[in-house]
Amino acid sequence: QKEVEQNSGPLSVPEGAIASLNCTYSDRVSQSFFWYRQYSGKSPELIMSIYSNGDKEDGRFTAQLNKASQYVSLLIRDSQPSDSATYLCAVVERGFKTIFGAGTRLFVKA
Amino acid sequence: EAQVTQNPRYLITVTGKKLTVTCSQNMNHEYMSWYRQDPGLGLRQIYYSMNVEVTDKGDVPEGYKVSRKEKRNFPLILESPSPNQTSLYFCASSIHPTATEAFFGQGTRLTVV
């Protein structure tokens, strides 16, 4: 079993819709969770970080964390074509090792 | 400008010829790490360093070496590169891995023939 799992996609949504990206992790003591966006050929850049159960909102983005279910998600409201990218879930495990999921490709159709 | 700088950006080399990819950050970050990115596998951590002279293995350390003699620099060394090390490599730094975002370098595309 992979330590951090994401649906590889591609996930295709129409412009203006809500895109929902999901991630599960296996290390129960993980405390820090991050969502990065990566455009093709570019470096990853941080979208959201979340550390406690519940929702965290930042503009059009909402991160949700459920430690009991070992599940973290990212919602993108009012999706725009510029949101088309690969979204990477990252989990920092005990000992400070960082594990990334394989990423979900998102396409937003104009 | 705060940044992580990797060099070279592109490198083609032959099997067995030692090479070093440099990484330097100007943000006084404690934590630095190296990743490789391969299609379908995402980013996999090779090595990380919590501070000067402190390094630890990530998920895929075989065939790689690192050193952290200065806080700002974290070079990645391939003593005897092989074709399966052909990949896109990223260096990243952060104040602390659990509390803050990581800043990534521009990436180094390595091809070993």
Give the whole-angstrom CA distance, residue A108 versus residue B6: 32
Give the whole-angstrom CA distance, residue A77 versus residue B72: 38
C-alpha distances in Å from residue A39, one per residue of A52, B45, B76, B88, B94: 28, 20, 24, 14, 21
pLDDT of A1 above 60: no
Amino acid found at B67: S
On whether any CB of chain B is under 8 Å from the CB of A12, the answer is: no
Q: Is the peptide bond before A10 cis (omega within 30 degrees of 0)?
A: yes
3-state secondary structure at position B112? strand
Give the whole-angstrom CA distance, residue B48 versus residue B88: 17
**Two tokens, residue A10:** 């591609």
Site from B50, B98, B100 to mutate, A interface, most A CB atoms within 10 angstroms: B98
**Two tokens, residue B112:** 């070993």
Residue with token string 């032959």 = B14
Q: What DSSP character marks residue A96?
A: G
Residues of B in contact with A96 (CB under 8 A): 31, 48, 50, 56, 97-98
pLDDT of A2 above 80: no
- The predicted-structure confidence for B39-68, as pLDDT tens digits, reads as follows 888 899 999 999 999 999 999 999 999 999
pLDDT at residue A95 in the model: 74
Q: What's the rounded mean pLDDT across residues B81-99? A: 91
pLDDT at residue A15 in the model: 97
pLDDT at residue B99 in the model: 67
3-state secondary structure at position A81? helix
Site from A49, A94, A96, A104 to mutate, B interface, most B CB atoms within 10 angstroms: A96
- The predicted-structure confidence for A3-54, as pLDDT tens digits, reads as follows 899 987 899 999 999 999 999 999 888 889 999 999 998 999 999 999 999 9
Residue with token string 């509390």 = B99
